[in-house]
Chain A
Amino acid sequence: MIDVVDVVIKFVLAAFVLIMVLNFAGLHTWIERKQSALIQDRIGANRASIFGFRLMGLFHPLADAIKMFFKEDLIPKGADKTLHTLAPLFSVFFALVAFAAIPFGPDLEIGGRVIPLQVAKINVALLYIFAMLSLGVYGVILAGFSSRNNYAILGGLRATAQMISYEIALGISVVGVIMVYGTMDLGELVAAQGELIWGFIPRWGIVVQPVAFIIFLVAALAETKRAPFDLPEAESEIIGYFVEYSGMKFGMFLFTDFVETIMVACVATTLFLGGWQIPFLQADDVSNWVFVVLGMASFSIKVIVFCWVFMQLRWTLPRFRYDQLMKLGWKGLFPIAIANVIVTAIVLVMIDLIGGKS
């Protein structure tokens, strides 16, 4: 029997996550403008105003959205209309749907009912997230293919090759983490990171798997198609897979970018920075409500820090050339990731043999 309350709770959780993610993604355009302005000693977009209020340019995302909606929606002659319309939807859908498996807070207790703050409690959550991230490639390749434009196809292929190449490094870098914690359930994985090593170091992923962390960060940047790996888009220089898109469909591709950035930040937080864990704070120390609020705040802060780092990298580094990109992916990250897995396996077995607990 399906309990009605359970269904309602799931809907509320899903709506909460969706609203947070969409708003933060919208805010990302503002962050991008302002952060780049600060880095380059500029002031940044601040002219959009409502009744004379400018609010440091916070109305610019709104103005952008209105502009996107009112632009003409072109479908090129000879293009596959269905796929052409579906491609941006795929992109956004798969980026958003992956958030279902992210645990964004500790268990909440209301009236004797324990609610895990995770929309879908899947025991292979990590696999699910990676599957959804990989399916995002479909949006890209379909956009290139359905546009009936050779440049779009080339752009789409380029983007696909890049995403698939870095997915391998991304996947293998995570294997080490899975081996250390022995679970793919993100809820358990975060719970396992609450422990302390030798009583004072939090057993976070970044402590036990520093190499995997760096590989994950680099591969994740490439996966989200953000600079310095933004060859698929390259706003001004190279033709990307969405040449034939205009209006809100184009906006959706842009939006996917920001959603994926947040997605990757969430995964990195969950795997390497202990998710909602606060060092040296256990569930028994404070009341449940306080613990939940603190946990969610901790998770949000970590995600925001990751987004800040990604943005800072995006405005620091020049773009990779395509052969350098492939070289880094296949000759750099891939072997290091495999070596990391092997070393992790050996160390784990050694610890087991010596008799300590892994």
Chain B
Amino acid sequence: MAKKVVHRPELTFWEKLYIPQILTGLKITSIHFFRNLFLHIVHRLGIFSHLRAGVTIQYPEELRPLFSRYRSRHRLTLRDDNTPRCVGCMLCETVCPAKCITIVPGEHPDPHVEKYPVRFDIDLGICVYCGYCVEVCPEDAIRMDTGILDLASDTREGMRLDIHQLMDPELRKPVADCSLEFPHQCEVTGGGMKGSWDQVKKSADKQVVAGE
């Protein structure tokens, strides 16, 4: 093995004195100190707000900017009449590697639209955020661009999003009243529906039976 001789640099006289070096360090920290102090003060006055006084992002009040390709919580896109664009083709449910999507399709009254989702659930506790559902959708009906990151729940039930939450990203469980303006067969609009999983399922089952 070749021996490698490393020459450590000797300290010069000025470096050995410590004090000039300490002053150099103080200069750096003082520049930061006074710059940030000045910026904090003028921010209070509302000027120079494009210059940041610290790298800290105060999380709940201030969110980090996301890239446009970032995959955040899902949403179902809407038509002009506020009905979901989804045609219940089941492609996303099929492609989902985590099997977190459950779709129950129903017959759409408009003959040009084949089907509509009576039930569209995503269990975010299972979802791996791969984005395949977005890629595969032929109707551009599902997207992952809500920018919602604070997904947390005390229960597993809370991690399941039903169609109401997916269509309106502002909604959080429990869903108060059905906001799904679906003029046809959706029992959810019939009143009394509070966003409970079982009730949606029941009505969906009925739907399927009726469809047959």
Task: Mark A residues whose CB is within 8 Å of B.
Answer: 35, 37-43, 214, 312-313, 315-317
Contact B54 A39 (CB under 8 A): no
Q: Complex Cα distance A37/B32, Å? A: 10
CB proximity of B179 to chain A, nearest CB, Å: 32
Of A37, A42, A43, A312, which one neighbours B29 at CB under 8 angstroms? A312
User: Does B210 make an interface contact (CB < 8 A)?
Assistant: no
Query: B18-26, B111-119, B143-151: which lies at the A interface?
Result: B18-26
Of residues B22, B36, B55, B58, which shows the largest number of chain A Cβ atoms within 10 Å of its Cβ?
B36
Of A39, A43, A312, which one neighbours B58 at CB under 8 angstroms? A43
Of A35, A43, A317, which one neighbours B54 at CB under 8 angstroms? A43
User: Does B82 make an interface contact (CB < 8 A)?
Assistant: no
Determine the residue in chain A with the shortest Cβ distance to B56. Answer: A43
CB proximity of B22 to chain A, nearest CB, Å: 7
* List of B residues within 8 angstroms of A39 by Cβ: 29, 32-33, 36
Of A41, A214, A317, which one neighbours B36 at CB under 8 angstroms? A41
* List of A residues within 8 angstroms of B19 by Cβ: 214
Contact A313 B26 (CB under 8 A): yes
* List of A residues within 8 angstroms of B33 by Cβ: 35, 38-39, 312
A selection of 29 A-B contacts at a CB cut-off of 8 Å is: A38-B32, A38-B33, A38-B36, A38-B37, A38-B40, A39-B29, A39-B32, A39-B33, A39-B36, A40-B32, A41-B32, A41-B53, A41-B54, A41-B55, A42-B54, A42-B55, A42-B56, A43-B53, A43-B54, A43-B56, A43-B58, A214-B19, A312-B26, A312-B30, A316-B22, A316-B25, A316-B28, A316-B29, A317-B22
* List of A residues within 8 angstroms of B36 by Cβ: 38-39, 41
* List of B residues within 8 angstroms of A313 by Cβ: 22, 26
CB proximity of B86 to chain A, nearest CB, Å: 43
Determine the residue in chain A with the shortest Cβ distance to B57. Answer: A43
Contact A37 B22 (CB under 8 A): no
**A interface footprint on B138-156 (CB within 8 Å = 1, 0 otherwise):** 0000000000000000000
CB proximity of B49 to chain A, nearest CB, Å: 15
* List of B residues within 8 angstroms of A312 by Cβ: 26, 29-30, 33
CB proximity of B64 to chain A, nearest CB, Å: 15
Determine the residue in chain A with the shortest Cβ distance to B27. Answer: A316
CB proximity of A312 to chain B, nearest CB, Å: 6
6 shortest A-B CB distances, which residue pairs?
A: A38-B36, A43-B56, A316-B25, A316-B29, A43-B54, A39-B29
Q: Complex Cα distance A22/B28, Å? A: 31
* List of B residues within 8 angstroms of A316 by Cβ: 22, 25-26, 28-29
* List of B residues within 8 angstroms of A315 by Cβ: 29
CB proximity of A218 to chain B, nearest CB, Å: 9
* List of B residues within 8 angstroms of A317 by Cβ: 22, 25
* List of A residues within 8 angstroms of B40 by Cβ: 38
Of residues B25, B29, B40, B58, which shows the largest number of chain A Cβ atoms within 10 Å of its Cβ?
B29
* List of A residues within 8 angstroms of B55 by Cβ: 41-42
CB proximity of B135 to chain A, nearest CB, Å: 40
